[in-house]
Amino acid sequence: MHYQEQAAGTRRTPRWLLFTWFVVIGAALLATSAPVANASHSDTSSYKRHQALIHWSTGDGSVQGANDEDYCADSQTGSMSADTAAVRVRDTLVVASPHWDGTGNWRLDLWKSPSPCTAYADRNWIELEYRVADNWNARCGGTYAQYSCVEHYTPIYTSQYGHYHYTWNNSYLTVTHIDGGATEYRELINHESGHLFGLLDGGGDCPGSIMHNRWYGCSNWPNWYPSNGDFNSVVAIMNGR
């Protein structure tokens, strides 16, 4: 749905930053190309709106690696508990198939925090936050409860890929967009997660994509899950596109 970017104040130096110094020279030579279906748009400027760790996650899906992506969920409305929000986010990202978890040979390796986001005084270790509220129009625009959106915080430049990307990334979910059945909430969460991983909204074409779905007048992707082109596009972003 609606998408916007915000660069906010810096928190601590991310744990992956030192790691990048060791891979700047060699890893660029080892990056492989992925077949890219023209499914989803990604940034062409030097500021790439995606979570930085998708380039370097080191886990295998069974044991959490040092640069894997942590996420949390929380609720700011009595219409949905934080536990329910967390279950729906986890179901979408790592349980229901096909899902984002494991994309790019586990460079996208998602691990849910044990507690809601606001349970932690220091959330610097959590890269992705999914927050639910009655409405986010002050952040996302539109009329009351019209849009969900994402925001990216604290851009950091990486010379390996020659672009800025973002240390922390939040998905702001309007409760009425995810309080229905599994098809409804999975579609919305998958779409907004596509933004977290670098994909932009549809631009008038309909190639078959969770980013170019019925909300953008496209009828050729009625599914709640990302398309093969969406996965390929995220892998291309991981490889430095």
Contact 92, 99 (CB under 8 A): yes
Q: What pLDDT is recorded for position 44?
A: 85
Q: Give, as one character, the DSSP assignment of residue 117.
A: G
For every one of its 241 residues, what pLDDT tens digit does the chain have, with 9 covering 90 and above?
543 444 343 344 344 443 333 333 233 322 223 233 445 688 888 999 999 999 998 888 999 999 999 999 999 999 999 999 999 999 999 999 999 999 999 999 999 999 999 999 999 999 999 999 999 999 999 999 999 999 999 999 999 999 999 999 999 999 999 999 999 999 999 999 999 999 999 877 898 999 999 888 899 999 999 999 999 999 999 999 7
Q: Is the pTM value of this prediction over 0.75?
A: yes
The closest of 89, 99, 32, 26 to 61, measured between CA atoms, is: 99
The closest of 55, 51, 60 to 106, measured between CA atoms, is: 60
Q: What pLDDT is recorded for position 101?
A: 97
Q: What pLDDT is recorded for position 1?
A: 52
Give CA torsion, residues 140, 146, 148, 149, to 10 deg: -30
* Domains defined for the chain, CATH in brackets: 16-238 (3.40.390.10)
